[in-house]
Chain A
Amino acid sequence: SQKIEQNSEALNIQEGKTATLTCNYTNYSPAYLQWYRQDPGRGPVFLLLIRENEKEKRKERLKVTFDTTLKQSLFHITASQPADSATYLCAPYSGGYQKVTFGTGTKLQVIP
């Protein structure tokens, strides 16, 4: 069955450093993968989408890579700030009508 793995342990980093979050998937080949941010008590917010023919995508301080051979996406936040503290969800497309499947997310804590 399709499986998505994100590090369930919280990631704590110092302000100004680069945070790197990992998303691994197994048993399918998604045409694209999305990343979302979720703050406590709120719905997820879309950040970036990367397609299978794209190696890297950037948006301001965010960078996403997509390695279809390793079946892995990495999400980077450069020059991290305390305001970046949130849970980040990856969501590979799993086929059919907009069926993205969400990972359980990684909680990021940026320490001032």
Chain B
Amino acid sequence: DAGITQSPRHKVTETGTPVTLRCHQTENHRYMYWYRQDPGHGLRLIHYSYGVKDTDKGEVSDGYSVSRSKTEDFLLTLESATSSQTSVYFCAISESSGTGRKNEQFFGPGTRLTVL
């Protein structure tokens, strides 16, 4: 988890409220990712960023938005939380992309979100 922090680490919220999760890195890596992990589904990509203000959707992006105004911060927002968004959320970073040589991902400690 070195170099990547996530906040909050745990959150309980109610259906319909907006929620923002923060990922902060000190590695100066260009690429950042948000995943959710659920039993039986594994890690699924929500959104990713390939630079400041450059983001794109992953496979499960509905109901989520992201922003990246600085290299070190990547925010995930649940616009109106639903119970189906109860999950563990992981942020990840990588130095390179595609078939580059340093494209392993480094993960943060995760945020456990419960939507009641």
**A interface residues, Cβ below 8 angstroms from B:** 31-32, 34, 41-46, 49, 89, 93, 96-105
Within 8 A of A (CB), among B75-97: 90, 92, 94, 96-97
Complex CA–CA separation, A77 to B74 (angstroms):
35
Given known A-B contacts A44-B43, A97-B56, A49 and B104 have beta carbons under 8 A apart: yes
**B interface residues, Cβ below 8 angstroms from A:** 1, 31, 33, 35, 40-45, 48, 50, 56, 58, 90, 92, 94, 96-99, 103-110
Contact: B50 with A97, CB < 8 Å?
A: yes
Contact: A104 with B42, CB < 8 Å?
A: yes
With CB as the reference atom, state the residue of chain A lying closest to B56: A97
Contact: A45 with B42, CB < 8 Å?
A: no
Complex CA–CA separation, A41 to B45 (angstroms):
19
Shortest C-beta distance, A21 to chain B (Å), equals 14
**A-side binding surface: helix, strand, loop or mixed?**
loop
Contact: B41 with A43, CB < 8 Å?
A: no
Shortest C-beta distance, A64 to chain B (Å), equals 13
Contact with A98, one of B35, B44, B103, B109 (Cβ below 8 angstroms): B103
With CB as the reference atom, state the residue of chain B lying closest to A102: B43
Please give 16 more A-B residue pairs, beta carbons under 8 A apart, in addition to A102-B43, A104-B42: A32-B99, A34-B104, A42-B1, A42-B109, A44-B90, A44-B105, A45-B107, A49-B103, A89-B42, A93-B103, A97-B97, A98-B50, A98-B96, A98-B98, A102-B44, A103-B42
